[in-house]
Structure 1
Amino acid sequence: MKIVFIFFFYFCLLQSCTCDDTIMRTHSMRDGDVIFSEGKRFAFGFFSLGVSNLRYVGIWYAQISEQTVVWVANRDSPMNDTSGVIRFSSSGNLCIYASANRTEPLWSTNVSDSILEPTLVARLSPLGNLVLLDSVTGKGYWESFDHPTDSSLPFMRLGFTRKDGLDRVLTAWKSPGDPSSGAFTYRINRTGFPQLILYKGLTPWWRTGSWTGLGWSGVPGMSRRRGSSISRSSFVNNQDEVSLTNRVTDASVLTRMMVNETGNVQRLIWVATEKRWNVFWSVPKEECDNYAHCGLNGYCDPTSSASFKINASICGREKEGFVRLKRVKIPDTSVASVDMNLTLKECKQRCLGNCSCVAYASAYHEGVGGARGCLTWHGDMLDARIYMNSGQDFYIRADREEIERWNKDGLLRKRRVIIIVISLIAAVMLLAVISFCFVRKRRKSNRERRYSTTLAPGSPFRFEEDRGREWELPLFEPNTIVTATNNFAFRNKLGEGGFGPVYKGVLENGMEIAVKRLAKNSGQGMEEFKNEVKLISKLQHRNLVRMLGCCVESEEKMLIYEYLPNKSLDCFIFDEEQRSELNWPKRMEIICGIARGILYLHQDSRLRIIHRDLKASNILLDNEMIPKIADFGMARIFGGNQIRGSTNRVVGTYGYMSPEYAMEGHFSVKSDVYSFGVLILEIITGKKNSAFHKESLNLVGQIWDLWNKGEATKIVDKLMNQEIYDESEVMKCVHIGLLCVQENASDRPDMPSVVSMFGHKANDFPPPKHPAFTSGRKPHVKNDDSTSGAYLSGENSNSVNDITLTDVHGR
């Protein structure tokens, strides 16, 4: 075993790095270095928060998009720059230094005894625990779980252990951007009968109530009786320790408990599909949760406007006894007397025989071998409250009159509850009937009328086709979009085109969206808006952008899409810095993805669709650089065997338009093929077709000239030279691109043939014929529709539908 470790140890030394999840004793970490736990769930290293330049060292979740820090070492001693270093001191402590030449640490593990073992390491465990240990013997010296900050992870203990004298306490951050120690602490109070208490400074803020054997009496929903499938809690209370440990029942679930800066204890669960933390429970959440809300000798009932005052007992009265309160978080147990050897019956007799005893309860109630243990109170009581379906029985000392009054009041309360429940059921049933009638009438009305371009505020967005088939898309409220985009703030603006501006937004559930807002002076109108909604609501494909809904109210018209963080293809292929990140395999994936999307539109969808405005700015890229075709405002639907159409209103972007469409208004599936061919050549070269590249030649003309000379390799993007790629494969794609941009539509392949070509050798392809528009001149368009005009865009102008999701700031 030792020989194996020595080999591993020296292998890491030779590699001159930390070993994945481990910092060796002879090594150090600089700002920018990160180690990951096995499985890479957690990361340990340097980080900053928000716009702050202060640097901290800590642990965070490595695999989720939202940075979530769960432990901070130097929370009260941040660094001002990136000169920090983490290394072992001569005594064996792991330390953080402001710079490499500093000798006084900002933070240390502070193990009192010197650790001499050369095999000492710091290792980040899969649970998110940074452990100082001897990697040969496994002996541990220190762990971050013993020194929590604001968060408790599964299998971490909270509380006191006598052996090491440690009291594990959660302390909130000062603010979301400042992890220094805040005002709120969450700890086990060991006085009397132990309980967890949230403090603000030294003042109790909220408490869990006592441990009942099934859960905390003051935390409804955390009891195992309720069948929680997320976590299990175990509480230890003996002479060696008083501690709480939460465990997850499913290791794949990401969950944590934390104390936030506003004074809430929360249990959170990561929802991967929505990419956000969901608050499973949070306290305090109502007035009755606030510590001592009803004052001395009173308890809080959320269903009543006033609290019931507990009367002090007068010992020796005739027929003296106890009033039983059900579903109670029993009063603060730090002042209670405890005897775990008594039964509940024996507890009652002890309290009755002691004139100072005012109340009693079982320590562990039914469900764990029956009620056992005795808690008694001998003075003023604080912070009792009642629940609807949780808590435990609590017995208050009272004389005969008080017991009779309580029984009478209890009967009246039961009657009131029954009346309230019956009234609520009747109201719900009446509301359901009214809602059913309203919805039925509205649906009938919608079926009887055709879609109008003017919608009343709040109306559902619907329209009906000539075939009588109705389509509907989720409708967003304007206020929701205004909030998500921060009132269409400029910093949220992604770009602008013929349709109008596009903004990034974030919904309340954390989902990121892109909002396409129709400008009042836009060249597009309701027809284009309806067209895009109608088309995309019917299309589902990996390489098509996904529409989430729309917003229509008065003159305001917006389309809501999934947000794609890498924006549009033109950001990458026409920018040197970004383009350098695109090696040939990635470019080939983008080309093939676009091809599959067009093939779906032309052949595989329920409808045959001609996009009519395919260009680099209308190809969006997700976080994995998967291309998605966007902007269907100018698209046309073909039915049956129809393969071509014509229009007097020519729309599109110069450089991507086929000659028959630009000159005569004729469009077909071959029009999109032409645009795709231009895209292939732009992706390979990193140049725009609409720009002049050599005298009068545009990109297509320049490539055609070099192709005829046998020198087409000269046009390949030089930024790919450092990458190893198959030149024959690149030339095959150039060949396919030239076949797609041939002047006559009949000479161009259709999309099924194009997709098939990618899987065959270029020797099987026909030679390309002369392409269209090789001179770089803009075509003259004859337009018979004087009201619509021709919408052509040159290098410095936009098409009517030229929306580009690019950064609006200068590069």
Structure 2
Amino acid sequence: MKIFFIIIFFLLRSCVGGANDTIMRRQSLRDGDVIVSEGKRFAFGYFSPGNSKLRYVGVWYAQMNKQTVVWVANRDHPINDTSGHIKFNSGGNLCVYASANETELIWSTNVSDRILEPSLVVARVSDSGNLVLLDPVTGRVFWESFDHPTDTFLPFMRLGFTRKDGLDRFLTSWRSPDDPGSGNYTLRLERRGFPQTMMYNGLTPLWRGGTWTGQRWSGVPEKTLKSIFNISFVNNQDEVSNTYGVLDASVVTRLVLSEAGILQRFTWNGREKRWIGLRPNPQEQCDDYAYCGPNGYCDPLSRDTFECICLPGYKPKAPGDWKLRDPSGGCTRRDTTSVCRGREGFVKLKRVKIPNTSAASVDMNVTLKECEVTCLRNCSCVAYASAYYESEGGPRGCLTWHGDMLDTRTYSSSGQDLFVRVDKAELERWNRNGSSRKRRLFLILISLILAVMLLMVIFLCFVRKRQKSKRHKRSSKTFAPSYIDFGESLRFEELQDKARNRELPLFELTTIAAATDEFSFQNKLGEGGFGSVYKGVLENGMEIAVKRLSKNSGQGVVEFKNEVKLISKLQHRNLVRILGCCVELDEKMVIYEYLPNKSLDYFIFHEEQRAMLDWPTRIDIIRGIARGILYLHHDSRLRIIHRDLKASNILLDNEMIPKIADFGMARIFGGNQIEGSTNRVVGTYGYMSPEYAMDGQFSIKSDVYSFGVLILEIITGKKNSGFKDKFSNLFGHVWDRWEKGEVTEIIDKSMDAETYDESEVMKCIHIGLLCVQEIVSDRPDMPTVVLMLGHNAIDLPSPKHPAFMTRKRRESNDGGSSSGVWLSGENGISVNDVTLTSVYGR
């Protein structure tokens, strides 16, 4: 009877459209045959990775332009030719044979003891990427590839182990891009002590993802985007496992342990047909396992030159080695006799990755206060922490350490509290130091505020005096700014001379042409008034971006020379890095580092990509841009005004670090000059300050204005120009909500509210409004802006009406700003030489 139902089942399936996702009991797959999941998302069959000629059996994404394999059956036993066969054996196992005669078994599911009726079993690949051995009528699963992962962690897979059958699900890297064999690196959930994720190189710990805190893994500082992922962690008598789901089925993502020992999440960008890599782990030196040795912790933000510090109550075991930056010996107790006399206490370290929990004791049934009492009663207890944080109930459970503590580090905005046991003298010393540090910080902050206020008053008086003088004496014929325009003075022959003198590398045209595949359309990243930008790959594998000046461009020759001269002199983490130039025949090109995540506008102005930006990422981008502008205005050898700051000119690297780009419009000031004028207004509508758009007057405050526009766009996810509302631009909308006390309504709804502190977002909106005020002298300068963006809150002045709103501008008698605003719309301003670019990130 059961066989009858199976026959009817597969007849109906074949009538509906065929069973292309299933291998039947009597069916075999030869090399070249492929089965595809019902929704066409995954395929199963034979493949050869990279440049290899060997054949493997596995699962890969079915519709990617480049094959991306997620699971391999015979990873350590490849087939030498194309004679392989996939079929069921008499016991109901799915097997891979080296040839059709079935003499050499390569791989098998090996579950015969659980298959009651081998004649009824089938194999099917699902839309989740899981290859399943099952009974098609009852749905009973006998075996699945998700229980035997290779290097990829897909949504709805489980990572961890079950206690009953001892099955351990862990990731193992490939040996190389051409060899999917079991590599040196593994990622697993530890069985010993309190569960935690660990990455190994062979048997040596390499990186620790830490314990599950209820919100994130303690060793992964980024908070998971709950609007995209649904993460589940199970720790009970049956199993310890971690899995994650994707709330939006259109999001394609995978977590990969690479052959280099890097754990990284990738998300598929359907529009560009490529994978976007997010923050890799490990990323920095403090991520290396036990980098500071036993009882030491790593602080990447340490004010000292060395990031390793001993835990409270400990001292370097070999001080001489620490002076030589070798902390591997770790730390030892200052005094082992005075920590159990009833007079000791605990020092709280904030925002840390708690120490290795493989030897820690755990009690999930006590509170944090009870945990302190328990630790205090046991003389061998050296530290304690909560085991878990509930979203509503707060800290839960108790972890205690009774020996050396390994692999502790601090974070700037995440982590847990760790309570370290110290004697009375040490506790008093930490309390004094803490109070002293607070007083010093308070005094430093007050001094900085007073200094900034004094500078602002002096600067305001200077500017007002100068403005009054200009109104009486200024003439367009006599005005002669003292900025240095390298664009006019630098000849292309000089560029070649500088390259030969190693001041600027010079690339040959044939090299760039080969790297960009003869400037093929497939490698084109975007274009603007200057010409086009192409992606290229040099012979050594380095990825580059090539900015190619159009031969018939009326714009760009001066900007090209200006940009090469300028950016070759600048070195900063938040400025795009120039690699060289090419000046040959009629070709004029600038070669930059390639930044894979394109430009800021690609993320903030697109619904799908914007959801990937949580608040910590956005505030890091805002602060990075601010630091880059501060460097241009004050910290570089030259005082530089960019004049074209906009979202498309902010590029993002693979770690989402912002890089300011496109210095073709920039101007350099000599001496102490901070402003100038021009008869040729260039820039992008929506980002230009009013004094520049109307009168051609530009200054460091022009860039401050553009930065304010960027802040508001990043927070709201909306463009300033072309804003569709009762207001003609974003400023009017934000200002209206600000005056009504409803400013929280403008915060981008795609940003998970749990990822940000509302007061911090409000402070950034406040700073953005200060930057876009109409009168130049009302806007803060970049040192003040960077100070405002710091973690320590300060009192901010109240913003006045932003520029470009709905009424004509007027000015008060004393030269200060009034409540008047600029006229825009049907009878508003027009700027004849504004460029409207549509350039993709490079």
State the TM-score, normalizing by the size of structure 2.
0.53
What is residue 307 of structure 1 aligned with on the other side? Answer: 309
In the TM superposition, residue 151 of structure 1 has moved relative to its aligned partner by 0.5
In the TM superposition, residue 248 of structure 1 has moved relative to its aligned partner by 1.3
Note if contact 1:494-1:503 (Cα within 8 Å) is conserved in structure 2: no
- 2:434 aligned partner, one-letter code: G
Offset from partner CA, 1:13-72 (integer Å, 9 cap, x none): 999x98211111110111111111122111111111122101111111111212211111
Return the alpha-carbon distance in structure 2 between the equivalents of residues 423 and 80 of structure 1.
74
- In terms of mean alpha carbon deviation, does 414-423 or 374-383 score higher? 414-423
What is residue 289 of structure 2 aligned with on the other side? Answer: 291
1:776-795 to 2 correspondence within 5 Å? none
Please point out which of 401, 414, 421 is paired with 1:397. Answer: 421
- 1:190 aligned partner, one-letter code: R
Return the alpha-carbon distance in structure 2 between the equivalents of residues 175 and 443 of structure 1.
59
The structure-2 alpha-carbon separation of the partners of 1:101 and 1:328, relative to structure 1 and needing over 3 Å to count, comes to: same
What is residue 118 of structure 1 aligned with on the other side? Answer: 119
What is residue 689 of structure 1 aligned with on the other side? Answer: none
In the TM superposition, residue 511 of structure 1 has moved relative to its aligned partner by 14
Note if contact 1:209-1:218 (Cα within 8 Å) is conserved in structure 2: yes
Note if contact 2:72-2:150 (Cα within 8 Å) is conserved in structure 1: yes
What is residue 274 of structure 2 aligned with on the other side? Answer: 276
What is residue 409 of structure 1 aligned with on the other side? Answer: 433
In the TM superposition, residue 452 of structure 1 has moved relative to its aligned partner by 11
Note if contact 2:516-2:537 (Cα within 8 Å) is conserved in structure 1: no
Residue 321 of structure 1 pairs with residue 366 of structure 2: no
Q: How many residues align?
A: 497
- Among all aligned residue pairs of Structure 1 and Structure 2, give the percentage whose two residues are the same amino acid: 56
Offset from partner CA, 1:681-720 (integer Å, 9 cap, x none): xxxxxxxxxxxxxxxxxxxxxxxxxxxxxxxxxxxxxxxx
Offset from partner CA, 1:748-783 (integer Å, 9 cap, x none): xxxxxxxxxxxxxxxxxxxxxxxxxxxxxxxxxxxx
- 1:167 aligned partner, one-letter code: D
Which runs of 5 or more structure 1 residues have no equivalent in the other structure? 434-440, 459-477, 496-501, 519-525, 535-549, 561-811
In the TM superposition, residue 82 of structure 1 has moved relative to its aligned partner by 1.1
The structure-2 alpha-carbon separation of the partners of 1:14 and 1:363, relative to structure 1 and needing over 3 Å to count, comes to: closer
Return the alpha-carbon distance in structure 2 between the equivalents of residues 63 and 416 of structure 1.
60
1:649-688 to 2 correspondence within 5 Å? none
The SS at the match of 1:405 is helix
Return the alpha-carbon distance in structure 2 between the equivalents of residues 8 and 532 of structure 1.
69
Structure with the greater alpha carbon radius of gyration: 1
Note if contact 2:162-2:168 (Cα within 8 Å) is conserved in structure 1: yes
Note if contact 1:337-1:377 (Cα within 8 Å) is conserved in structure 2: yes
Offset from partner CA, 1:247-303 (integer Å, 9 cap, x none): 112111111111111111111111223322222221111111111111111111111
- 1:152 aligned partner, one-letter code: F
Note if contact 1:454-1:554 (Cα within 8 Å) is conserved in structure 2: no
What is residue 76 of structure 1 aligned with on the other side? Answer: 76
- 1:266 aligned partner, one-letter code: Q
Where has structure 1 moved over 6 Å in runs of 4 or more?
Answer: 1-4, 11-15, 415-427, 441-453, 478-483, 510-518, 531-534
Please point out which of 341, 346, 350 is paired with 2:365. Answer: 341
What is residue 21 of structure 1 aligned with on the other side? Answer: 21
In the TM superposition, residue 192 of structure 1 has moved relative to its aligned partner by 0.9
Offset from partner CA, 1:438-470 (integer Å, 9 cap, x none): xxx999999999999959869xxxxxxxxxxxx
Offset from partner CA, 1:377-402 (integer Å, 9 cap, x none): 11111111111111111101111211
In the TM superposition, residue 503 of structure 1 has moved relative to its aligned partner by 13
What is residue 96 of structure 2 aligned with on the other side? Answer: 96
- 1:390 aligned partner, one-letter code: S
1:247-258 to 2 correspondence within 5 Å? 247-258=245-256
- 2:272 aligned partner, one-letter code: E
What is residue 34 of structure 1 aligned with on the other side? Answer: 34
1:724-739 to 2 correspondence within 5 Å? none
The SS at the match of 1:326 is strand
Offset from partner CA, 1:535-554 (integer Å, 9 cap, x none): xxxxxxxxxxxxxxx98746
Return the alpha-carbon distance in structure 2 between the equivalents of residues 280 and 321 of structure 1.
41
Return the alpha-carbon distance in structure 2 between the equivalents of residues 480 and 142 of structure 1.
59
Please point out which of 203, 210, 227 is paired with 1:229. Answer: 227
- 2:309 aligned partner, one-letter code: S
Offset from partner CA, 1:125-171 (integer Å, 9 cap, x none): 11000000011110100000000000000010000112432100100
1:198-277 to 2 correspondence within 5 Å? 198-223=199-224, 227-277=225-275
In the TM superposition, residue 418 of structure 1 has moved relative to its aligned partner by 7.4
The structure-2 alpha-carbon separation of the partners of 1:419 and 1:256, relative to structure 1 and needing over 3 Å to count, comes to: farther
The structure-2 alpha-carbon separation of the partners of 1:529 and 1:479, relative to structure 1 and needing over 3 Å to count, comes to: farther
What is residue 808 of structure 1 aligned with on the other side? Answer: none
The structure-2 alpha-carbon separation of the partners of 1:3 and 1:269, relative to structure 1 and needing over 3 Å to count, comes to: same
Return the alpha-carbon distance in structure 1 between the equivalents of residues 134 and 94 of structure 2.
11
State the TM-score, normalizing by the size of structure 1.
0.55
- 2:177 aligned partner, one-letter code: P
The SS at the match of 1:317 is coil
The SS at the match of 2:370 is helix
The structure-2 alpha-carbon separation of the partners of 1:277 and 1:5, relative to structure 1 and needing over 3 Å to count, comes to: same
What is residue 374 of structure 1 aligned with on the other side? Answer: 398
The structure-2 alpha-carbon separation of the partners of 1:318 and 1:449, relative to structure 1 and needing over 3 Å to count, comes to: closer
- In terms of mean alpha carbon deviation, does 213-222 or 166-175 score higher? 213-222
Return the alpha-carbon distance in structure 1 between the equivalents of residues 144 and 416 of structure 2.
37
Return the alpha-carbon distance in structure 2 between the equivalents of residues 181 and 323 of structure 1.
44
Return the alpha-carbon distance in structure 2 between the equivalents of residues 344 and 60 of structure 1.
47
The structure-2 alpha-carbon separation of the partners of 1:388 and 1:423, relative to structure 1 and needing over 3 Å to count, comes to: farther
In the TM superposition, residue 123 of structure 1 has moved relative to its aligned partner by 0.6
The structure-2 alpha-carbon separation of the partners of 1:422 and 1:75, relative to structure 1 and needing over 3 Å to count, comes to: farther
Return the alpha-carbon distance in structure 2 between the equivalents of residues 286 and 330 of structure 1.
17
What is residue 138 of structure 2 aligned with on the other side? Answer: 137
The structure-2 alpha-carbon separation of the partners of 1:140 and 1:299, relative to structure 1 and needing over 3 Å to count, comes to: same
The SS at the match of 2:10 is helix
The SS at the match of 2:105 is coil
Residue 351 of structure 1 pairs with residue 352 of structure 2: no
- 1:71 aligned partner, one-letter code: W
The SS at the match of 2:433 is helix
Note if contact 1:321-1:398 (Cα within 8 Å) is conserved in structure 2: yes
The SS at the match of 2:175 is strand
In the TM superposition, residue 116 of structure 1 has moved relative to its aligned partner by 2.5
What is residue 524 of structure 2 aligned with on the other side? Answer: none
The structure-2 alpha-carbon separation of the partners of 1:503 and 1:530, relative to structure 1 and needing over 3 Å to count, comes to: closer
The structure-2 alpha-carbon separation of the partners of 1:482 and 1:118, relative to structure 1 and needing over 3 Å to count, comes to: farther
- 1:111 aligned partner, one-letter code: V
The SS at the match of 2:432 is helix
The structure-2 alpha-carbon separation of the partners of 1:504 and 1:328, relative to structure 1 and needing over 3 Å to count, comes to: closer
Return the alpha-carbon distance in structure 2 between the equivalents of residues 229 and 482 of structure 1.
48
Note if contact 2:312-2:426 (Cα within 8 Å) is conserved in structure 1: no
What is residue 151 of structure 2 aligned with on the other side? Answer: 150
Which runs of 5 or more structure 2 residues have no equivalent in the other structure? 314-332, 460-478, 497-503, 521-531, 558-579, 591-842
Return the alpha-carbon distance in structure 2 between the equivalents of residues 228 and 285 of structure 1.
23
Q: CA RMSD in A?
A: 4.4
- 1:245 aligned partner, one-letter code: T
1:490-529 to 2 correspondence within 5 Å? 492=517, 506=536, 529=552
Return the alpha-carbon distance in structure 2 between the equivalents of residues 250 and 286 of structure 1.
32
Please point out which of 587, 605, 608 is paired with 1:557. Answer: 587
The SS at the match of 2:241 is strand
What is residue 159 of structure 1 aligned with on the other side? Answer: 160
Return the alpha-carbon distance in structure 2 between the equivalents of residues 98 and 207 of structure 1.
40
Note if contact 1:268-1:277 (Cα within 8 Å) is conserved in structure 2: yes
1:537-686 to 2 correspondence within 5 Å? 553=583, 555=585, 557=587
In the TM superposition, residue 105 of structure 1 has moved relative to its aligned partner by 1.4
1:38-49 to 2 correspondence within 5 Å? 38-49=38-49
What is residue 55 of structure 1 aligned with on the other side? Answer: 55
Return the alpha-carbon distance in structure 1 between the equivalents of residues 444 and 100 of structure 2.
70
Note if contact 2:339-2:422 (Cα within 8 Å) is conserved in structure 1: no
In the TM superposition, residue 308 of structure 1 has moved relative to its aligned partner by 2.2
